[in-house]
Structure 1
Amino acid sequence: MGTDIIEIDRIKKLAQNHGEHFLKRVFTPEEIAFCMHRRDPWPCLAARFAAKEAVFKALQTGVTAWQEVEVRGGGDRPVQIALTGATRQIARARGVANVLLSIAHDRGRAVAFATALGGEVS
């Protein structure tokens, strides 16, 4: 299990100070597009950042590669995690078949909880 909380303004300031370099380093093109279509993209991006951190904690590893953990869904669709690359290999090696995720944001902070589940790995 992993959890993370972050101030939304921190993500906004990182993006303002480092521009697209920060966004492209941390988020997949799909995540960026999803969040940038919102009236206020920063809570959305912060929640995804927290989700990635929570997933790394649930897998009991440090950050491997930000873009190897993709948050899909949100809004009116349930959020899901897609793992690729080395992060997927780490999960498989640890017997993780799925990662459940819950994200939220309110009053300047975003929070995420991730639970790594064992079972048959597809």
Structure 2
Amino acid sequence: MIIGTGVDVVNINRFAEIIERTPGFIDRVFVEHERDKLLRSLAARFAAKEAAAKALRAPAGLVWQHCWIENDPDGAPHLVATGTVAQRAADLGINRWHLTLTHDEPVAIASVVAEHLTDDELLTLMRLDPAGRGLLSAHPRETDR
């Protein structure tokens, strides 16, 4: 069952201006392994964080670094949540994320679908995708902050 959806569009040029005039923005919003990405990829990741917040109905208190994007070996992005974002998702019954990103100057776009899978659906998914990409769980690369 779909619990929430979110989409966000970021103007890459305006995003560059925000980064330039706001010291600490990159460190405050992105986890360490995201920070070395190209500007257009950062803009798409920021759009993904905004889209995820919308899918969660944008409650106060979400921490930007509790949501980040990983890429599979084939390059496909997936959303990882921990801390405040994971807790809000759990409160809503969300156990799987769908994410798509795109960027083409001058915009970056992200779409997030937050879903609840039944136990049978989770078992089927794990047979099809043993890595469990997109499932809500803590991730070993980053810790709760």
What is aligned with 2:18?
Answer: 14
Residue 65 of structure 1: which of 36, 43, 63 is its match? Answer: 63
CA distance in 1, matches of 2:103, 2:74: 15
List alignment gaps of at least 5 residues for structure 2. Answer: 120-135, 138-145
Which position in structure 1 is the counterpart of 2:142? none
- Percent of residue pairs bearing the same amino acid type: 32
CA–CA distance in structure 1, aligned partners of residues 95 and 109 of structure 2: 23
Which is helix-richer, 1 or 2? 1
CA displacement, residues 11-57 of structure 1 (integer Å, 9 cap, x when unaligned):
211111123x0001111101113x0xxxxx11011000000000111
TM-score by length of structure 1 reads 0.86
Equivalent position SS for 1:93: helix
**Cα shift at 1:74:** 7.2
> Higher strand proportion, which one?
1
Q: Where does residue 100 of structure 1 map in the other structure?
A: 98
Decide which of 26, 31, 34 is 1:31's aligned counterpart.
34
Alpha-carbon distance change, 75 to 108 in structure 1, aligned in 2, over 3 angstroms: farther
Q: Which runs of 4+ in 1 moved over 2 A?
A: 119-122
Q: Tell me the equivalent position of 2:126.
A: none
Unmatched tracts of structure 1, length 5 or more: 36-40
TM-score (norm 2): 0.73
Mapped to 1, the partners of 2:22 and 2:54 lie a distance apart of 25
Aligned partner of residue 82 in structure 1, secondary structure: strand
Instruction: Name the count of aligned residue pairs.
Output: 115
RMSD of equivalent CA atoms: 1.8
Q: Which amino acid aligns with 2:116?
A: G
Once residues 17 and 76 of structure 1 are traced to their aligned partners in structure 2, the CA distance between those partners, rounded to angstroms, is: 35
Q: Equivalents in 2 of 1:57, 1:49: separation in Å? A: 13
